[in-house]
Amino acid sequence: MSLTPSLIPREGVVQGVISGVALAAGYGVGVLLLWLWKFFELPSASARTQRYLRLAAGVMCGLLALGFLWQANNWQNSVRALIGLEAGPGVRPLTIALVAALLFLLILLLGKLFRRLFHLVSGKLARRVPSRISIVLGLLAAFWLFWAVINDVLLSAALHTVDGIYQRLDAKIVPDMKPPSDPGKAGSAASLLRWNDMGHQGRRYLALGPTSDDIAKVTGTAKDPIRVYAGLNAADSPDERAHLALEELKRVGGFDRPVLVLITPTGTGWVDPGAINSVEYLFAGDIASVAAQYSYLPSPIALMTQDAYGRETAEALFDSIYGYWRTLPKASRPKLYLFGLSLGALNSDRSFDFFDIIDDPFHGALWTGPPFRSDTWREVTAERDAGSPAWLPQFHGGAMVRFGNHFGGYDKGTEPWGRFRIAYLQHGSDPIVFFEPQAAYRRPAWMQKPRAQDVSPDLEWYPIVTMLQLAMDMHAGIAPMGYGHSYAPGDYVDAWYHLTEPEGWDERKLKKLKENLLQWNKR
């Protein structure tokens, strides 16, 4: 079953890992069922019958494995074709079998060590306390010891190593990436935010954006966009970094522009250039944006180790920017939008409470590839209008929230899109969005028909296995731009265009802009 397709195509080693864990899970289910059979004292077959049953089961499993291996390459290529990749070389059955067997044996060994430890502790305790108490205490002792070894020794050592690697990457200064000489830009000698404190991704964000000349090639006339970035080393606390970002934004004239975008970056501090470049072009550079870094670790690790800190930073930046913005005259202040990709979308969603802005709301938000843990996304998707699919839902006729992808969606509302708008950009093949732990025991709603155009019709739901496949898709799946968790500049153009409704654009100019951004992205 683990050889069947999921959202992202897989190579041999990745497939072997999934198959090994699935094999261990199936073995565990078998052991549990056998224990229950014996616990209820149900009759057992004779030794001779058991031998025949094992032989029959072995032959059946072997034939199933061969049959699924025979189909596996076609299944993977069906996924590759949907996301614009060429057919792969094959599934490499020997690689899959070797990796799966080694991983299964490792998990089996750990399971047997746990059982031996449990029996050792409970056996010694049984001499002094009642047997049932010894069993409970033995289980607790075994769980505690395994947790201590995994969490305090192995996981801590791994996180320490990863932290050191990404800390060095964040501090790395590229020689040909110089701080701006214009005193009116963030990171310059006159700036409140020092260039060296911005981190690697912050310096890239400030240095590699389009200039007024770049934008004017598409729009005719343009201004230099304003960008402000508060790096992790700019100050000691989220509130201090947010205050510096606000003061710098005021210093460079960010609140004098007609549009202001408040960005929550990903875990590494990365701001997707396709996201911000596209909206800067749409407004001919007459726009400002501001971001604050909360981590230099990849998003999955940042979510696991610094979840609260990311939320605190997003809240501090929102409170600072929004708090000042709402004091400005309504007739002259900029339109304020929020943006976040992946973990940035999750933390951006967490950065404010609707009750705090209801009397003076900002203008909207674009949240791209929102992780499945995003509360607003989950609520809206669960309460979608009847008949709309889970991968592109409609909510209350699209009056406030709309969903879209590279196949469209933002213009499908039955109600006018109001002044306060939330837009979700999500691919049907994005496992970050559509993973759910409940897939271990129930079929996800997005698998129902009709499916998203980039999801294989051969994808089927299997208990436990589908959840393992989606989990591996999240962490090891790499899709080309425009599919999976990789969002293309053209996707952003459509999302920002419908969300903000900039003037002076038609289909011809939008097409030219998408082509220009695609070439820019290949630099």
What pLDDT, in 10s, does the model give residues 39-80? 888 888 888 999 999 999 999 988 988 888 888 888 888 888
Which residues are within 8 A (CB) of 328 and not within 5 positions of it... i.e. 6 or more apart?
Answer: 255
Residue 483 DSSP SS3: strand
Mean pLDDT of 36-41: 88
Within 10 angstroms of residue 170's Cβ, the number of other Cβ atoms is: 22
The band of 395, judged by pLDDT with boundaries at 50, 70 and 90, is very high
How would you classify the pairing of strands 401-404 and 421-425? parallel
Over its C-alpha atoms, the chain yields an Rg (Å, rounded) of 27
CA distance 5 to 81: 12
DSSP calls for 130-196: -HHHHHHHHHHHHHHHHHIIIIIIIIHHHHHHHHHHHHHHHH---TT-PPPS-TTSTTSTT-SS-GG
Peptide bond between residue 370 and the one before it cis (omega within 30 degrees of 0): no
Quote the DSSP letter at residue 285: T
Contact (CB, 8 A) for 267 and 301: yes
Question: Which of 16-20, 109-113, 475-479, 488-492 has the lowest average pLDDT?
Answer: 475-479
Q: Which two tokens stand for residue 367?
A: 């949240």
pLDDT value for 133: 85
- Please give the model's pTM, rounded to 2 decimal places: 0.91
The band of 306, judged by pLDDT with boundaries at 50, 70 and 90, is low
Mean pLDDT of 250-269: 95
Contact (CB, 8 A) for 484 and 508: no
Measured at the alpha carbon of residue 31, what is the angle toward residues 30 and 34, in degrees to the nearest 5?
85
Q: Which amino acid is at 331?
A: A
The band of 416, judged by pLDDT with boundaries at 50, 70 and 90, is very high
The band of 192, judged by pLDDT with boundaries at 50, 70 and 90, is very high
Which range has the top average pLDDT, 265-274, 289-298, 328-337, 412-421? 328-337
Mean pLDDT of 457-485: 90
CA distance 165 to 298: 11
Mean pLDDT of 207-226: 92
Contact (CB, 8 A) for 16 and 100: yes
pLDDT value for 154: 74
The band of 237, judged by pLDDT with boundaries at 50, 70 and 90, is very high
- Percent of the chain that is helix, strand, coil (3-state, to 5): 55, 10, 40
User: Over 90: is that where the pLDDT of 292 sits?
Assistant: yes
Quote the DSSP letter at residue 486: B
Residue 208 DSSP SS3: coil
Per the DSSP assignment, residues forming a β-bridge with 364 are 337, 421
Q: Which residue has the tokens 């310096």?
A: 203
Residue 368 DSSP SS3: strand
User: Over 90: is that where the pLDDT of 146 sits?
Assistant: no
**pLDDT averaged over the chain?**
90
Mean pLDDT of 140-160: 79
In terms of pLDDT, which residue wins out, 502 or 35?
A: 502
Residue 261 DSSP SS3: strand
Mean pLDDT of 488-493: 94
pLDDT value for 205: 93
